[in-house]
Amino acid sequence: MSQETRTDTTAATGTRLADWQAGVVGGLAGGAAMGVLITMLMPPVIEMAIPALYGLQGGLAGWIVHMAHSAILGVVFAAIAATTGIGNGIGRSTIAGLVYGVVLWAVLAALVMPIWLQTLGFAGAPPLPNFALPGSLPAHAVYGVLLGAIVPLLGN
């Protein structure tokens, strides 16, 4: 009789992204959807206010800055999700993403952006605080929901 020894090994397929990479992809996807909403509902924001944060002008510059912010904030969300466990499961992460989007709106859009633009002397600076509900809040919510849903789908 012959004896066979079988050894099974499992190798990683590489289909999952590192958490920070999932944050970049989720941030870019959410940022694209948010950018479309802002472009449709509040064109001066993407064309003038966002690029003015860095002394730039024009819609292309606004989109580039917006997408860079979206990717960076996506990495921040992924780090928070990984360290707190809120990224475990699409449902929990999507809700956490929605909350994250609303917090970003309340802190960055409503407070930081107006202060920054006023400090730069930008003529179109929004009032402080700038709780623009019709366009900005829903756009930030969409960003957060997409980010929150994508991070656990792609990440570790």
Q: Residue 11's pLDDT is what?
A: 47
Task: Compute the distance between CA of residue 151 and CA of residue 140 in angstroms, rounded to an integer.
Answer: 16
Q: Residue 121's pLDDT is what?
A: 94
Task: Compute the distance between CA of residue 68 and CA of residue 87 in angstroms, rounded to an integer.
Answer: 22
CB 1 within 8 A of CB 135: no
Residue 6 has pLDDT above 90, yes or no: no
Task: Compute the distance between CA of residue 37 and CA of residue 20 in angstroms, rounded to an integer.
Answer: 25
Q: Taking the alpha carbons of 119, 50, 26, 90 in that order, is the dihedral positive or negative?
A: positive
Q: Residue 131's pLDDT is what?
A: 85
* Residue recorded with tokens 């924001």: 45
Interval 79-118: pLDDT, tens: 999 999 887 899 999 999 999 999 999 999 999 999 999 9
Predicted confidence band of residue 134 (pLDDT cuts 50, 70, 90): confident
* DSSP state, residue 125: P
Buried b (16+ CB within 10 A) or exposed e, 1-22: eeeeeeeeeeeeeeeebebebb
Tokens of 119: 């400090």
Residues whose CB is less than 8 angstroms from the CB of residue 40 and which lie 6 or more positions away in sequence, other chains included = none
How does the average pLDDT of the chain come out, rounded? 91
Find the range with the poorest average confidence among 3-12, 66-75, 142-151: 3-12
Tokens of 149: 């849903």
Interval 51-63: pLDDT, tens: 999 999 999 999 9
Interval 14-26: pLDDT, tens: 678 999 999 999 9
- Residues 130-150 have a mean pLDDT of 92
Task: Compute the distance between CA of residue 152 and CA of residue 21 in angstroms, rounded to an integer.
Answer: 11
